[in-house]
């Protein structure tokens, strides 16, 4: 079953790189009591993800936070070392929290997986963005395969600007 607007974010464990090394991130705790702009990509360092998706959120981070977003997070079915390296290469700094869904458990719990086997990528997350308010999905922008439109930072900014 695919997550929908109004649903509670499923509990799962993601991983985040810290100065002390990889640390678990419980999704219930991460999303509780605040507004998070979450976007998911099929893979770190992949063309659309690196050229458009991540840079768009870096560029619009201050605008999104100015509209009430407490945190912006990027999640992908990659390990935490890859997500950390990708974040550094894209110069995300403190603007974007890079979260690893190493085994795809979070993507699966959301019902938002895709089969990237044809590209040698295995099970991955679909491309999407969402606004999560106090642990509940307030907006969900799911891309059609091969598209990049509704999950962009620009689209999300328009949604929350009304």
Cα–Cα nearest to 97, from 132, 124, 126, 122: 132
Name the DSSP letter for residue 3.
-
Residue with more model confidence, 118 or 144: 144
Q: Say if residue 92's pLDDT is above 70.
A: yes
Of 3, 17, 49, 132, catalytic: 49
For the purposes of burial, counting CB atoms within 10 Å of the CB of 51, is it exposed (0-12), middle (13-18) or buried (19 or more)? exposed
Q: pLDDT digit string (tens) for 23-62? A: 999 999 999 999 999 999 998 887 777 778 999 999 999 9
Query: With a threshold of 0.85, does the pTM exceed it?
Result: yes
Domains of the chain by start residue, with CATH: 13-161 (3.40.30.10)
Round to whole Å and give the CA distance between 69 and 66: 7
Active site residue 74: no
């Amino acid at each position: 079953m695919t997550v929908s607007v109004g649903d509670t974010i499923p509990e799962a464990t993601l991983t985040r790189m810290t100065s002390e090394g990889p640390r678990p991130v419980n999704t219930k705790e991460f999303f509780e009591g605040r507004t998070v702009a979450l976007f998911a990509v099929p893979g770190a360092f992949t063309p659309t993800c690196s050229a458009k998706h991540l840079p768009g959120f870096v560029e619009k981070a201050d605008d999104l936070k100015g509209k009430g977003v407490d945190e912006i997070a990027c999640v992908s079915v990659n390990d935490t070392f890859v997500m950390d390296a990708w974040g550094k290469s894209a110069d995300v700094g403190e603007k974007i929290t890079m979260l690893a869904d190493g085994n795809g458990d979070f993507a699966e719990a959301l019902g938002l997986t895709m089969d990237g086997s044809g590209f040698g990528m295995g099970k991955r997350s679909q491309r999407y963005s969402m606004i999560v308010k106090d642990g509940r999905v307030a907006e969900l922008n799911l891309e059609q395969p091969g598209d990049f439109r509704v999950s962009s930072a620009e689209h999300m900014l328009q949604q929350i600007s009304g």
